[in-house]
Amino acid sequence: MKKNDARRTALKILTSVRRFSDFSDEALSSRLKALKKVDRALCSKLVYGVLQNRMLLDYYISIHLDRSISRLEPKLLDLLRLSAYQILFLDRIPDRAAISEAVDITKEINKKASGLVNAVLRRISENKSLVLPENEFEETEYLSIKYSHPKWFCEYMTNKYGRNFTEGFLKANNEEPPIYLQVNTELISAEELLEKILELGLNAEPDSDLKSIKLGQIGELLESDLFHKGYFFIQDKAARAAVDIAQVKSGESILDLCAAPGGKSFASALEMKNSGRVLSCDISQSRLEKLVESAERLKLYVIETKLMDALDAGNLKESFDLVIADVPCSGFGVIRKKPEIRYKNWESLSELADIQKKILNNAANMVNDSGRLIYSTCTIFNEENEEVVADFLARNINYYIEEEKRFWPHIDGSDGFYICLLKKRT
């Protein structure tokens, strides 16, 4: 193994995210196991830090480069971003160490480029006090570079919500998100679990609903007896709210479309006091298998699973008290957890909206006469949220909106999320 494996592993992950559109959290999960514990935190910090600040890093690289940044070999640019991030954002890593290691890695990629890498990084180090000059840029371009979000997205947000709201949202997207543990109240109380977590030396506090516990860091909690005994599962508080809004009752029948990894199914089972039926469906067999493992760990025995594409859900000859349609979406509400999402193109939204409309209409066909329907996404675009619901209501006049709610990371401390509770007219 070569020295400083955290940096080399981070570079491999950044390259795979760029080349293959891998999700950073999944790429990290698969590669961190090969690192020593001391290197895992640094590797994660480097990957997320570069992705969160990529456009700003490119700005600083470009002003110290004697050619267009677009002419750089892509992997070399990944390395420059990685090293510039260490110099500009990580005080605990000496600049000379970051530069020296970058030059060594460059020699493994392209020996001829080692001089260029050394020169650019030294210039960045010598000019760390430089700040992005706001007066040289149009407003949305400045926000785009400063917070590393595409200009089209900054324009969308400022046009809809204004500068202050937008800047708060962009800033929050570059911060580390809290972790919410949903308490398995069938096995332990929130107070008891909180006490046990604090005994492990972790910083934790109860969330306002007393059903979840908020953590800054997960630490080794997933390797603890508390996890293996099924005392909790991880789910953002906004996603949990989708079940809370539906006011699930003991003994009900619930269909959870697009269910994996299972958070809403688990929350539904808990709200029903583990009495009733939850049918959890997903298009992925492997994800359903993980859902089953989690349900068994949590001792939630009312959960059944079915391999099914939500686009074909109309073939399911059953009706339910509650149908949950947490549909595939652009994911722009979970940028804090998957920072690479921000670099998606706007053009993909219309195709997603068509899928969302089809799933919502399929879901409605399986709601019984007195039942409810939840539509939810982890995105912030009206085109995937309110407009999808409006299209649905225009086609289904027997439904009406009972409650509608949005969550924002800079306001609620949660994922960006949309929930709409629909009911049938009686």
Give me the active site residues, please: 378
Using alpha carbons only, give the angle 254, 260, 266 rounded to the nearest 5 degrees. 50
Query: CB neighbours (10 Å) of residue 290?
Result: 14
Q: Are 324 and 255 spatial neighbours (Cβ–Cβ below 8 Å)?
A: yes
Beta-ladder partners of 306: 281
219 half-sphere exposure, CB direction, 13 A CA radius: 15
Query: CB neighbours (10 Å) of residue 346?
Result: 13
- With tokens 């899928």, the residue in question is 355
Interstrand relation of 212-215 and 204-206 (parallel, antiparallel or unpaired): antiparallel
Q: Are 336 and 175 spatial neighbours (Cβ–Cβ below 8 Å)?
A: yes
Q: In this structure, what token pair is assigned to residue 90?
A: 């990580």
- State the Cα–Cα distance between residues 221 and 266, nearest whole angstrom: 19
Q: Are 322 and 255 spatial neighbours (Cβ–Cβ below 8 Å)?
A: yes
Query: CB neighbours (10 Å) of residue 108?
Result: 11
Query: One-letter amino acid identity for 123?
Result: R
Q: CA-based Rg of the chain, rounded to a whole angstrom?
A: 24
Q: In what side-by-side order are the strands of the sheet with 303-307?
A: 303-307, 277-282, 253-257, 320-326, 367-377, 417-424, 399-407
Q: In what side-by-side order are the strands of the sheet with 212-215?
A: 204-206, 212-215, 179-183, 232-234
Alpha-carbon separation of residue 256 from 287, 298, 340, 366 (angstroms)? 14, 18, 28, 11
H-helix or E-strand spanning residue 369: strand 367-377
- With tokens 């600049």, the residue in question is 95
Helix (H, G, I), strand (E, B) or coil at 189: coil
